[in-house]
């Protein structure tokens, strides 16, 4: 096993997240596994103990240096606590033995909530599934077939897993693309600790049939409907066509597929795709066509690389490097607050379709993936596919449900069945 | 499993009402529906610091320090109040600054602090017998300073006005401030109250402010500027 370093630099994507931390806000996401039986806490404790050495990059705490935040090695284990009604409220590092993720359980569901500076959706899922695999092995005595997402706790970790892949692959020739301000769908804000989640369970077969009709992927289809719904909302709120703003959805792109690496730290880029309703009202097939073409362009390696290279160049800028953190922190934070979400209307993150080994699959009924509260936009959308279902989750910080309602109603009108569940019900708001 | 009669979606067994449109679930085929929630009832919330309690402790500690200062001064100076006046006035002013933490309306906090600062300076003016200078120069200067604080607060909080128009308002206020400052100086030196240097300085500032103000209405020019300054 590689000897873990006493401290590590934050990867290029992560450097921004600590600067945006406030008393009530942290950039977070949550991944869940629903077992076929209620969780046995003692076995879960033992499974965590076995799994943690396999993920050395997860045993770090966030520290403040003079110029940058960095990760410092820590010992021990994170706490496992019962789940809450309002997930992803700002992680209290001290309460969690300084770990940058927390583990929660409720009846059959195991949930891990990550602070994004630690890892991204893929790295988080690898940890969750490895922990679930070890739990199943200990509880049911099942032989686990290990894979890229279900790692063998006894294996040695590789340097590739915790190396900053952005630095490794950046070719230093960056380019920036001019973006216009996007339409912002707003509403009545709930209290800061409340995050309202609506999850829709959709039959993948039905969805694939529909995607075939439009000759597009599931991501392109869902993003297309999101844009279509947002266009309708904007049309109602802004009646004058020329005053309407662009509608853009930010889609994270997993760079591991492009560069064929298995990093467990952040290694994703993003692309903002959308339409400009100033040119007229778009029909759904037109929107899907736009999304498809923009996504094809976005997935070109050269374009992806120019984006990560420009971020690396910015991080390595000799002037920015030498500005002390206490000066850098408020500047980055205010840029992020004022500009970060200005160019996007919504976010959609697709973790992909997860195929597990049948011996493990029989103990896991459902998977879930939910994004945390956004600072400036109202709703964030995420999805994960597992077995015959696609789980689409909307996490919102506003009371109004127009967006979610119109989204799911559009699917129902197309003949796609949707089953919805939520964390806040009658009289909870 | 029930369906929402309004949205047409299937509702998970946990839902008492449709989470999308809040239509209640009524299933005549089920006598006692079991709405087992998918999330527990526990709410994750940080313990809030009782700011009012904390502030009263601060004010109380200031009061204790003020009493100690006054008593010590009276004992040392044999019944006269000398240096302790400065301490007490400073402590009162410091207590006024605490307003920013408890007061939700920032403008009220500004007014309280403006009054606190004027009271603070007036006490010193009375002690040093320079009330005339206070009224002629210190008062207008502090008012100009607080005017800047009010204007900046207002401009920062106004989100609907574009940045160019905000800059133009700021420059217009600067022009007014220059006239007030010169008038105050002239009043102290008993010279003519007609503006001279402030008038000269105000011409280029007014021109720039006017240009910014006019440009702020042209979306094309703003777009062109944004394009040039795009990072």
pLDDT for the residue numbered A180: 82
pLDDT for the residue numbered A328: 86
pLDDT for the residue numbered A428: 55
Judge whether B1 is closer than 8 Å to chain A, CB to CB: yes
Instruction: For residue B21, list chain A residues with Cβ-Cβ distance below 8 A.
Output: 401, 405
List the single residue in B with minimal CA-CA distance to A414: B8
pLDDT for the residue numbered B231: 45
pLDDT for the residue numbered A416: 94
**pLDDT tens digits along B35-92:** 788 899 888 887 777 777 888 888 889 889 999 999 999 999 888 888 888 888 888 8
Residues in chain A predicted with pLDDT less than 50, given as ranges, are 1
Instruction: For residue B1, list chain A residues with Cβ-Cβ distance below 8 A.
Output: 419
Beta bridge partners of A252: A270
Of A117, A51, A109, which Cα lies nearest the Cα of A78? A51
In this structure, are residues A44 and A110 in contact, taking their beta carbons and an 8 Å threshold? yes
| Chain A interface disruption, residue of B15, B19, B33, B37, most A CBs within 10 A | B19
Judge whether A405 is closer than 8 Å to chain B, CB to CB: yes
Token pair recorded at residue A204: 């993948």
B160/chain A closest Cα distance in angstroms: 14
Instruction: For residue A419, list chain B residues with Cβ-Cβ distance below 8 A.
Output: 1, 9-12
Q: Which of A83, A85, A404 faces B20 most closely, judged by CB atoms?
A: A404
Of A419, A426, A405, which Cα lies nearest the Cα of A199? A419
**Number of Cβ pairs < 8 A linking chain A and chain B:** 101
CA dist list (Å): A140 to A137, A272, A298, A365, B59:
6, 44, 44, 15, 62
A399/chain B closest Cα distance in angstroms: 11
Token pair recorded at residue B24: 């209640």
Give A159's contacts (C-beta < 8 A, 6+ positions apart). Answer: A2
| Residue contact A86–B24, C-beta within 8 A | no
ipTM of the complex: 0.87
Q: Which of A82, A422, A424 faces B40 most closely, judged by CB atoms?
A: A82
Rounded Cα–Cα distance for residues A174 and A309 (Å): 5
Residues 163-202 of A with CB under 8 A from B: 176, 178, 193, 198, 200-201
Judge whether B156 is closer than 8 Å to chain A, CB to CB: no
pLDDT for the residue numbered A317: 85
Judge whether B101 is closer than 8 Å to chain A, CB to CB: no
């Amino acid at each position: 096993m590689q000897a873990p370093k006493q401290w590590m630099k934050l990867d290029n994507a992560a450097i921004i997240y600590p600067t945006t931390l406030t008393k009530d806000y942290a950039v977070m996401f949550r991944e869940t596994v629903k077992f076929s039986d209620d969780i046995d806490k003692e076995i879960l404790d033992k499974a965590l103990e076995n799994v943690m050495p396999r993920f050395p990059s997860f045993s770090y705490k966030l520290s403040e240096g003079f110029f940058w935040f960095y990760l410092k090695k820590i010992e021990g284990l994170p706490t496992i606590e019962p789940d809450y009604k309002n997930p992803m409220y700002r992680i209290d590092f001290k309460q969690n033995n300084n770990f940058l993720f927390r583990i929660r359980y409720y009846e059959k569901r195991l949930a891990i909530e990550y602070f994004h500076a630690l890892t991204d959706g893929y790295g988080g899922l690898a940890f969750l599934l490895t922990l679930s695999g070890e739990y199943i092995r200990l509880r049911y005595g099942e032989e686990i077939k290990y894979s890229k997402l279900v790692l063998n706790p006894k294996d040695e970790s590789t340097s590739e897993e915790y190396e900053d892949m952005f630095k490794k692959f950046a070719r230093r020739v960056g380019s920036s693309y001019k973006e216009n301000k996007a339409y912002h769908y707003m509403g009545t804000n709930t209290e800061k600790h409340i995050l309202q989640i609506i999850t829709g369970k959709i039959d993948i077969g039905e969805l694939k049939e529909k995607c075939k009709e439009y000759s597009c992927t599931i991501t392109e289809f869902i993003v297309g409907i999101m844009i279509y719904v947002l266009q309708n909302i904007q049309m109602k709120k802004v009646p004058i066509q020329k005053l309407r703003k662009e509608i853009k959805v930010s889609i994270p792109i997993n760079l591991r597929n492009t560069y064929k690496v298995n990093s467990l730290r952040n290694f994703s880029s993003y692309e903002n795709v959308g339409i400009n309703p100033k040119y007229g009202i778009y029909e759904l097939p037109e929107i899907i066509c736009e999304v498809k073409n923009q996504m094809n362009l976005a997935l070109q390696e050269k374009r992806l690389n120019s984006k990560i290279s420009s971020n690396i160049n910015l991080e390595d800028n000799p002037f920015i490097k030498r500005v002390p953190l206490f000066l850098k922190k408020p500047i980055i934070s205010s840029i992020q607050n004022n500009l970060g979400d200005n160019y996007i209307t919504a976010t959609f993150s697709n973790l992909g379709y997860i195929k597990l080994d049948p011996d493990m699959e029989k103990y896991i009924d459902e998977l879930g993936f939910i994004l945390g509260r956004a600072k400036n936009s109202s709703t964030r959308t995420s999805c994960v596919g597992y077995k015959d279902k696609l789980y689409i989750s909307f996490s919102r910080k506003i009371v109004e449900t127009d967006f979610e309602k119109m989204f799911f109603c559009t699917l129902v009108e197309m003949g796609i069945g949707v089953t919805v569940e939520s964390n806040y019900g009658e009289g909870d708001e | 499993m029930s369906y929402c009669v309004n949205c047409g979606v299937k509702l998970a067994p946990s839902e008492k009402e449709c989470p999308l449109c809040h239509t209640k679930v009524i299933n005549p085929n089920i006598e006692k529906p079991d709405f087992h929630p998918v999330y527990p009832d526990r709410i994750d919330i940080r313990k809030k610091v009782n700011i009012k309690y904390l502030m009263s402790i601060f004010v109380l500690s200031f009061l204790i320090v003020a009493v100690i200062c006054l008593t010590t001064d009276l004992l040392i100076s044999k019944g006269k109040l000398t240096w302790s006046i400065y301490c007490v006035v400073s402590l009162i002013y410091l207590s006024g600054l605490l307003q920013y933490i408890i007061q939700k309306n920032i403008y009220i906090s500004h007014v309280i602090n403006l009054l606190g600062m004027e009271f603070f300076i007036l006490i010193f003016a009375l002690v040093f017998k320079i009330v005339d200078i206070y009224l002629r120069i210190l008062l207008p200067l502090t008012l100009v300073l607080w005017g800047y604080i009010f204007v900046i607060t207002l401009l920062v909080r106004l989100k609907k006005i574009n940045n160019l128009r905000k800059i133009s308002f700021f420059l217009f206020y600067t022009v007014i401030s220059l006239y007030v400052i010169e008038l105050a100086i002239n009043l102290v030196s008993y010279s003519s109250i007609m503006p001279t240097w402030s008038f000269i300085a105000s011409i280029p500032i007014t021109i720039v402010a006017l240009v910014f103000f006019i440009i702020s209405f042209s979306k094309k020019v703003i777009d062109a500027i944004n394009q040039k300054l795009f990072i």
